[in-house]
Structure 1
Amino acid sequence: MQYLQNYNPLNNQWASAAVALLPIICFFVCLLVLKLKGHFAGLLTVSVAIVIAIVVYQMPSVLVFTSFLYGFVYGMFPIAWIIIAAIFLYKLNDKSGYFKILRDSIIAITPDQRLQVILIGFCFGAFLEGAIGFGGPVAITAALLVGMGLRPLYAAGLCLIANTAPVAFGAVGIPVIAMAKVVSVPAIEISAVAGKMLPPLSVFVPFFLVFLMNGFKGVKETFPAVLVAGVSFAIVQFYTANYHGPELPDIASAVVSIICTAIFLRFWQPKNIFRFETEDGKEIPAPTQHSLKEIVLAWLPFIILIIAILLWTQDWFKKMVGWGTFSFDFTVLQSIIQVKPVVPVDTPVKSIYELPIIASTGTAIFITALITIPLLKVKSAMAVEAFSETFKEMKWAIVTIGLVVGFAFVCNNSGMSATLATALAKTGNAFAFFSPIVGWLGVFLTGSDTSSNLLFGSLQQLTARQLGIPEVLFLAANTVGGVVGKMISPQSIAIACAAVGLVGKESDLFRFTVKYSIGFVILIGIAVYLAAFVFTGILT
């Protein structure tokens, strides 16, 4: 049995694309119109995708359901495992009482919650994105902001938006590195173009976060500090992406931005301090003074987490713990063949599922949580309670994550995702505008900028060559467009809701972010078109 992907099953590219778009429309309708819970929306969406794959694409049902199973399992591990470990770590800190100390120490830097969101959601979130990716940054920072007094939906939405700027270089540059290998272009060339396109977004996002919280009044009152945070991040991002490659931009930019902003706030604070009200309408109580030892202990689990993450990303460490990785071959998937123009030569889809029990980022976070138990003198009964609560709160989120990742694999393996991209590739020079939208769609469908780059990198490259445009522009556009698709991907929505206790409220969060995501990708499309035909010097 062999299934050659067909990107035009109806013999009309636009009709085929319209059918391939139906599962996405279904998901939008489920969340925006019907306001269904995430797991119901995911189930209906994947059901529509399965029917289309079998009936329209003539994909053998065994391949369809195996693709779904592969995706569902991948959604459980490593993705859901990262979120479970992150929430468990947060709960341990909260139950021990040390999270309140951590909160008070941040308020000591600035009592203004607009700037606290910048420090945690934007700066610390970017560091975590650069180190771990895969939804962990949103889970951790959203939980932190809820602990700081932000309402759950607000915290989740702000963190999803804040997480846009660093996604292109997330997980130590994997999105760009993976694409570079597929298209045989040096990673630093793609990194350099992305590093020229992203800094304006990196400066804009902190101001936009403040605007969402407090309007133009808030932007005016916090302008100097927000400018320091955004510009310091953007400068380091530009330098490292252009001259060092894709591995360092997020981590280096985040560290420099945190340091610069914290130092600046030692000498300047906004005249009007902005505070959110709690659910009962009262302001968050003023912070308590704590000893240096207590503050160090409160931050120690997160310092250990950073050290653990850096350790887990080292090649020598991955080799050392490689014995803890188990592989399972979904052999039947080898019969699914990707064809031109998505790939230069016919290529089977991946059939090996790897289970890196020790090398997983989730395990690094879980081990940090275990170290936290004696460190913060958490009683064993309290630790068991925290872990039990995590699973109880996460059960539907885990199901949702499995369903949406399974949906992604059905779309990708059947050829539906590529159908949409190849249709847009037929728009001629206008594809310069649609190029980042292809990346945006890829991240929406897969939940990963890396997956989007792997899926559409060759298509972007081939289209650029046909149009006589430097291929690195479209390659970079795919990853930059993808960063703003992250805030509406079903996977990200499910993770964010789980992190703040809003399982079942995915439609509310989706409605909060979708308009901004669409607006951002349109602006990026315009920027790429101008770079291709007007300001061509950006590529030199």
Structure 2
Amino acid sequence: MYRQDLAPVAGSLLLSALLAAIPLAALFVMLGVLRMRAWIAALVSLVLAGLIAVVAWGMPVRLTADAAALGAAFGFFPILWIVINAIWLYNMTVSTGHFDVLRRSFSRISDDQRMQAVIVAFCFGALMEALAGFGTPVAITAVMLIALGFKPMKAAAVALVANTAPVAFGALATPIVTLGQVTNLSVDTLGAMVGRQTPLLSVIVPLVLVFMVDGRRGLRQTWLPALACGLVFGVAQWLTSNFVSVPLADIAASLLSALAMVVILRLVPLEPVTAEPAESTVDEADSRADVFRAYAPYLIIVVVFCVAQLPPVLKLLNAVTASFPWPGLEIQNSAGKVLTLTVFKLNWLSAAGTLMLISGLISIPVLAIKAGEAVRSYGRTLRQLATAIVTVMAVLGLAYVMNASGQTTTLGTQMASAGAAFAVLSPILGWLGVAVTGSDTSSNSLFGALQVAAANKAGLQPALMAAANSSGGVLGKMISPQNLAIAAAAVGLAGQEGNLFRKVFGWSLLLLAVMCLIVVLQSTPVLGWMVP
């Protein structure tokens, strides 16, 4: 059985951490500086991580290959399984013309692209994040923005930046539930703490979106509805996570913020100004039946996912779940404990991707699409996402090789040795975890226990540092190669992930700095009263 070593390079934790950082640094340089295709950058970084694991960490080649295979399998299921079926459902609405009806319906709420960015990418995207998570909201909202007249690159960038504040409570708070499992802290306590951090981001993100769409003019002309949307979302997320139910935080926040936008746009109409030429939005007379069919697939998604969470239904769906250790992957951490990351969970019936597939099948008769066309649409979807599939599987392979060999733990342990200054580094650690894995759940699983250990050592609040991992992690989502690949493929820009990375990297760092400031102040008497 392979046992991880925290400091394999000359017994130095610092030198080992610097070596472990090379695959990640190479990945981001290839994307942001060299502008290489994401799937090539991901494969090169995977090879680098594998070589470092074998040469420096002494991990057997067979185990390294097994770890990469497990990561690739996890990348396909459940992550790509969700995205493929979500994009398939969208493609069916396009081929039947119902997506044009949906576009016109959104345009009637507001024909202002700045407000459409907030309503679609932030409010509706948060609902998709609440129900499915993983890359679904980015994929769906990006193509919706294109239908509303956005240029592909801007649509993808806006969708990525919008997918921040809701992420910690995504997929019915799966990241926070996972965080509770690995830290032995109460899910309610962690949810309450996260609910006192990410709502502060929620106030800022809609303002960032209108600035991305229309610059300073957009911010000056639309700050009131954007700010109102962010405030309603943040307050709803805070109240729900602290006093009602952690899993329902994003559902309540997304619906209430969307309602707030509709109301305020009726009360304070804006002069229709677009930042770029929009596609024709001729006000065709759509029948009520057509409008219903256009919204029906998304209503079906909401209903299917909600029904699937009912205890009797969830128990039935989980009855066929299979969990098994990945063959040949036997690993202990540096303390001699067997790692659980080698267990593969095949919840094929209760998985969000399967529920999305069921929603698509139910939508076929509603959309009045022939079965043959639905099958052909699925084939087109697979071809559309081909490079994204390779990228996501390679990136998750990279993450699992680093996790299994001990490279990720070495990086985290080096950061955790900072003492009281760890309050600044805690969100950065979460950000790094999500940037690599593309998942707040995976980042919490990796670093949650480490955050608590570092907090106890530095005399900081364990719940605060654990929550900071999740709250900081949401800001790494937009620069994760897996999400960049999904966004680029969804809008037809496969191969331009490097350009997209450059568009959103600055926003990721800026918002991360805001979260670091929040966490630091919450670790002091200034905002210490916010810690439950």
Query: Same fold judged by TM-score > 0.5?
Result: yes
- Residue matched to 1:325: 321
Deviations 1:42-62 (A, max 9, x none): 110000000000001111111
| Distance in 2 of aligned mates of 1:492 and 1:186 | 30
RMSD over equivalenced CA pairs, Å: 1.6
| Post-superposition offset of 1:126 | 0.6
Deviations 1:264-300 (A, max 9, x none): 222322124326325xxxx533332322222111111
Q: Which amino acid aligns with 2:432?
A: L
Q: Aligned residues: percent identity?
A: 38
| Distance in 2 of aligned mates of 1:212 and 1:82 | 28
> Does residue 362 in structure 1 map to residue 353 in structure 2?
yes
| Distance in 1 of aligned mates of 2:179 and 2:364 | 40
Contact 2:190/2:467, CA 8 A, preserved across alignment: yes
| Post-superposition offset of 1:137 | 1.2
Task: Look up the SS of the partner of 1:354 in the other structure.
Answer: strand
> Does residue 262 in structure 1 map to residue 270 in structure 2?
no
User: Counterparts of 1:436-515 in structure 2 under 5 Å?
Assistant: 436-515=427-506
Q: How many residues align?
A: 530
| Distance in 2 of aligned mates of 1:168 and 1:129 | 9
Q: Which amino acid aligns with 1:100?
A: D
| Distance in 2 of aligned mates of 1:4 and 1:104 | 58
> Does residue 183 in structure 1 map to residue 183 in structure 2?
yes
Match of 1:336 among 331, 339, 350: 331
> Does residue 539 in structure 1 map to residue 531 in structure 2?
yes
| Post-superposition offset of 1:120 | 0.8
Match of 1:289 among 269, 272, 285: 285
Structure 1 window deviating more from structure 2 (427-436 vs 317-326): it is 317-326
Contact 2:438/2:477, CA 8 A, preserved across alignment: yes
User: Counterparts of 1:101-120 in structure 2 under 5 Å?
Assistant: 101-120=101-120
Structure 1 window deviating more from structure 2 (285-294 vs 462-471): it is 285-294
Contact 2:213/2:275, CA 8 A, preserved across alignment: no
| Post-superposition offset of 1:20 | 0.5
| Post-superposition offset of 1:383 | 2.1
| Post-superposition offset of 1:323 | 4.5
Task: Look up the SS of the partner of 1:378 in the other structure.
Answer: coil
Contact 2:420/2:460, CA 8 A, preserved across alignment: no
- Residue matched to 1:530: 521
Deviations 1:60-100 (A, max 9, x none): 11111100001111111221111111111111101101111
Gaps of 5+ in 2: none
| Distance in 1 of aligned mates of 2:265 and 2:375 | 39
Task: Look up the SS of the partner of 1:363 in the other structure.
Answer: helix
| Distance in 2 of aligned mates of 1:321 and 1:529 | 42
Structure 1 window deviating more from structure 2 (320-329 vs 302-311): it is 320-329
Task: Look up the SS of the partner of 2:58 in the other structure.
Answer: coil
Q: Which amino acid aligns with 1:189?
A: T
- Residue matched to 1:163: 163
- Residue matched to 2:5: 6
| Distance in 2 of aligned mates of 1:287 and 1:245 | 41
| Distance in 1 of aligned mates of 2:321 and 2:163 | 29
Q: Which amino acid aligns with 2:103?
A: R
| Distance in 1 of aligned mates of 2:241 and 2:356 | 27
Deviations 1:206-243 (A, max 9, x none): 00100111112111211222122111111111111222
| Post-superposition offset of 1:348 | 2.3
- Residue matched to 1:141: 141
Task: Look up the SS of the partner of 1:321 in the other structure.
Answer: helix
| Distance in 2 of aligned mates of 1:6 and 1:339 | 6
- Residue matched to 1:232: 232
Contact 1:83/1:135, CA 8 A, preserved across alignment: yes
| Distance in 2 of aligned mates of 1:147 and 1:324 | 39
| Distance in 2 of aligned mates of 1:62 and 1:252 | 47
Q: Which amino acid aligns with 1:171?
A: A
Contact 2:82/2:136, CA 8 A, preserved across alignment: yes
Structure 1 window deviating more from structure 2 (262-271 vs 291-300): it is 262-271
| Post-superposition offset of 1:245 | 4.3
| Distance in 2 of aligned mates of 1:109 and 1:346 | 56
| Distance in 2 of aligned mates of 1:531 and 1:275 | 38
| Post-superposition offset of 1:360 | 1.7
Gaps of 5+ in 1: none
Give the alignment's TM-score, normalised by structure 1. 0.95
Contact 1:112/1:275, CA 8 A, preserved across alignment: no
